[in-house]
């Protein structure tokens, strides 16, 4: 199994945006990744923070859609370990507050966790997002109840998140076609060599992995049942 799927390094998932059929796939990749992480035993609990209420995240019987922290706690006690958290908040400030409360709750729960922060640009001011990326990956020996919390951070355009947040995600994934947005991203991150290799390898819904600025590999699309 590829090391970047199973280790604790935080991951930034970005990709081409557009209206055509060849675009998209970022949230689908995160959906596949967070479910695999729990089902294969890489993490104890998985949460997909889902501002858009994507229907495919909770399609599996193993994933419980919840809309409140109380609902999450009740479902956890009932035995669920995969959660599609569809927040009630829609405005930026309220969404940041709700996201932060979720992270505060996860910090009080035992076990290792993986959190997919979908559409992260919508709540980039959440103290919980900043904490996850700066400290959450190194909690195994802390005094808090939680073990490590790994983050998969999904955003349409990587520059919508500040450099401080991006710097805490050594794994950067590009999903889909290589165009002007990809060109700008790889140039801004000074990944010239990786840019050429991703350009040559990528295709619709394919996902290319870079680690610390170096190209690792390009994968074919994840199974359609996660979309």
User: Which domains can be identified in the chain, with CATH numbers?
Assistant: 3-226 (3.40.50.300)
The encoded tokens of residue 149 equal 């919390």
pLDDT of 115 > 70? The answer is yes
Stretch 75-102: mean pLDDT, rounded? 97
**Helix residue ranges, H only, the chain:** 3-6, 26-39, 69-77, 92-107, 127-134, 163-167, 180-188, 192-201
Per-residue pLDDT at 141: 84
Task: Indicate left, alpha or beta for 98 from its phi (over 0: left) and psi (-120 to 50: alpha).
Answer: alpha
Per-residue pLDDT at 19: 60
Q: Could you tell me the sign of the dihedral formed by the alpha carbons of 186, 187, 191, 192, in that order?
A: positive
Beta strand ranges found along 103-163 (DSSP E): 111-117, 146-154
This prediction has a pTM of 0.96
- C-alpha to C-alpha distance for 216 and 191, rounded to whole angstroms: 12
Per-residue pLDDT at 185: 86
Please provide the average confidence, as pLDDT, over all residues in the chain. 94
Read off the pLDDT of residues 22-46 as tens digits, 9 standing for 90 and up: 668 999 999 999 999 999 999 999 9
Stretch 83-102: mean pLDDT, rounded? 97
Read off the pLDDT of residues 148-206 as tens digits, 9 standing for 90 and up: 999 999 998 888 899 999 999 999 999 998 888 899 889 988 899 999 999 999 889 99
pLDDT of 69 > 90? The answer is yes
- C-alpha to C-alpha distance for 6 and 199, rounded to whole angstroms: 26
Residue 16, φ and ψ in degrees, nearest 5 = -65, 140
| Beta-ladder partners of 130 | none
């Amino acid at each position: 199994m590829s090391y970047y799927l199973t280790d604790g390094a935080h991951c930034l998932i970005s990709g081409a945006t557009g209206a055509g059929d060849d675009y998209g796939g970022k949230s689908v990749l995160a959906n596949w990744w967070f479910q695999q992480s729990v089902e294969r035993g890489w993490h104890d609990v998985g949460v997909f923070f889902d501002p858009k209420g994507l229907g495919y995240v909770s399609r599996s019987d193993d994933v419980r859609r919840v809309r409140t922290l109380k609902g999450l706690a009740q479902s956890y006690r009932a035995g669920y370990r995969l959660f599609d958290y569809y927040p009630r908040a829609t405005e930026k400030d309220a969404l940041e507050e709700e996201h932060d409360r979720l992270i505060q709750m996860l910090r009080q729960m035992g076990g290792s966790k993986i959190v997919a922060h979908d559409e992260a640009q919508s709540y980039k001011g959440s103290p919980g997002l900043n904490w996850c990326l700066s400290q959450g990956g190194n909690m195994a020996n802390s005094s808090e109840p939680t073990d490590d919390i790994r983050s998969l951070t999904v955003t349409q355009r990587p520059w919508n998140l500040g450099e401080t947040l991006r710097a805490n995600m050594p794994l950067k994934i590009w999903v889909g076609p290589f165009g002007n947005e990809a060109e700008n991203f790889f140039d801004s991150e000074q990944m010239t060599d990786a840019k050429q290799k991703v350009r040559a390898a990528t295709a619709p819904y394919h996902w290319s992995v870079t680690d610390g600025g170096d190209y690792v590999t390009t994968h074919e699309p994840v199974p359609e049942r996660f979309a």
